[in-house]
Amino acid sequence: MKRTLIKDLNQHIGEQVTIQGWLHTLRDQKNMQFLIMRDRTGLVQVAHYKKGDLDLAETISGLGTESALRLTGKVIENEIVKLGGLEIQLEDLLIENAAEIPLPFEPFGEYLPEQDFRLDWRFLDLRRQINQLIFEVQTTAVQAMREFWLQKGFIEIHSPKIMGTPSESGAELFSLPYFDTTAYLAQSPQFYKQMAMAAGFERVFEFGPVFRADPSFTSRHMTEFTGVDMEISWIDSHEDVMATMERWLAYTTQSVIEKHDEAIAATLGHHLEVPAVPFPRITMAEAHQLLNEIGYKLPFEKKFDLDPGAERALGAHFKETQGHDYVYVTDWPFEARPFYHMLHPNAPGLTRSFDLLGKGLEIATGAQREHRYEVLKAQALEKGLSLEVIQGYLNYFRYGTPPHGGFGFGLSRFMMVLLDLPNIREAVYIFRGPTRLTP
């Protein structure tokens, strides 16, 4: 059996074809039955004259929408048909898998049930056009991210996610029994990508799962997400990391536009724009001054940190004043950063680090890392860490490790920003949260 995709039917007018797909809608009339069929490439109308085959007519009448069908018939031009002026005249039908009636919900119905219910039936929810588009776009974006790095001689790594010691702080850590000891799920590939710098790989990236035992129920947090990480050697400062990153994001967005502009406009009603580089940069101290000026009051006393409201206010400000969706907030205080972020030589207490905000949402954190063994040990002690516990990591900095830096980036956060999705649950294939371990 040779399958014809719906998008290619116009090349088969007058021919007999077989299509495979889902019954999108059924119009069962007195003399005629119209099956609107859907495959991943589009919709087509299939017509059946009831009196031509009464048994078949009865079978069709009993079909539930979303049934998986194989249909054979002749393609004809029919000007009255709204779907591309084509119609298939049904000759044969095979029910591959009938959809039970009723469906838990109608993915193409007028009203969608609440999100949690849709997540319970995620495979049905994913049949919606917007969801197919999100993951087609993500596929293109990930390919473009890889392409950009491969063109620049990066090496892709796959680091372990089961670890003997925490990869970041002791907070938000999942532990699990591991034979006669306890293991931890990786909170980031941080130590391993730095190990690649000690190994002389010079430029690496990784796409992989990241686990955070964060009990919060926000629209942007998951307990498991896909992290996109990179690390590069021989940098002068965090500026080199930011400069690479913004070109990488512009390239990625450009690739998405080239492939999906029409579909995005048709489904979401707007066009994407390639962000201009360089992205605006603002230091944390300047950000606080700016927030003061625009009248945003932080809900805490901490001198240098941002809450989600402040991030949104900064995002809106840069959109209004510079037309930019992205902004780097740089030079975070050491107290707000992990021990391995390098301090500014001339500004004690401040790190060579940044967060990237996209439309007012944090999507990445990066920094130059401290690669000098003695300084790194002192910083770890200042944070109250046990050197013994992290000695394996500290050893990377004893035998010739170049200056380096990189970033960690949340793939689903980026998809939220790129496609204006209001909630990370809509941006990820399958959501994991404190109370959701299924599907």
Binding site for ligand ATP (CB under 6 A): 212, 214, 221-222, 225, 227, 362-365, 408-410, 412-413
Mind giving me the DSSP string for 228-275? Answer: EEEEEES-SSHHHHHHHHHHHHHHHHHHHHHHHHHHHHHHHS----PP
Question: What's the min distance (Å) between Cβ of 19 and ligand ATP?
Answer: 39
How are the residues of the chain apportioned to helix, strand and coil, as percentages rounded to the nearest 5?
35, 30, 40
**Nearer Cβ to ligand ATP, position 4 or 167?**
167
Q: What is the nearest approach in angstroms of ligand ATP to the Cβ of residue 422?
A: 15
By CB atoms closer than 10 A (0-12, 13-18, 19+), residue 69 is buried
State the nearest-atom distance from the C-beta of 225 to ligand ATP, in Å. 4
C-beta of 327: minimal distance to ligand ATP in Å?
14
Q: How far apart are CA 211 and CA 227, in angstroms?
A: 9
What region does 248 belong to: left with phi over 0, alpha with psi -120 to 50, or beta? alpha
Residue placing its CB nearer to ligand ATP in the complex, 193 or 413: 413
> Considering beta carbons, is residue 22 or 328 the nearer one to ligand ATP?
328
Cα Rg of the chain, angstroms: 27
Identity of the residue, 44 or 428, whose beta carbon is nearer to ligand ATP in the bound complex: 428
Buried b (16+ CB within 10 A) or exposed e, 227-244: bbbbbbbebeebbbbbeb
Length of the chain: 439
Identity of the residue, 67 or 412, whose beta carbon is nearer to ligand ATP in the bound complex? 412
CB of 63 to ligand ATP, least distance (A): 41
Rounded Cα–Cα distance for residues 98 and 122 (Å): 18
Find out whether 315 and 306 touch, Cβ atoms under 8 Å: no
Tokens of 298: 């932080």
Nearest-CB residue for ligand ATP = 410
Neighbours of 26 (CB within 10 A): 18
Q: Which residue, 403 or 408, has its beta carbon nearer to ligand ATP?
A: 408
Smallest distance from ligand ATP to CB 250, Å: 18
User: In terms of CB distance, is 45 or 226 closer to ligand ATP?
Assistant: 226
Which residues lie closer than 8 Å to 81 by C-beta, 6 or more apart? 45, 87
User: Least separation, in Å, of the C-beta of 129 and ligand ATP?
Assistant: 25
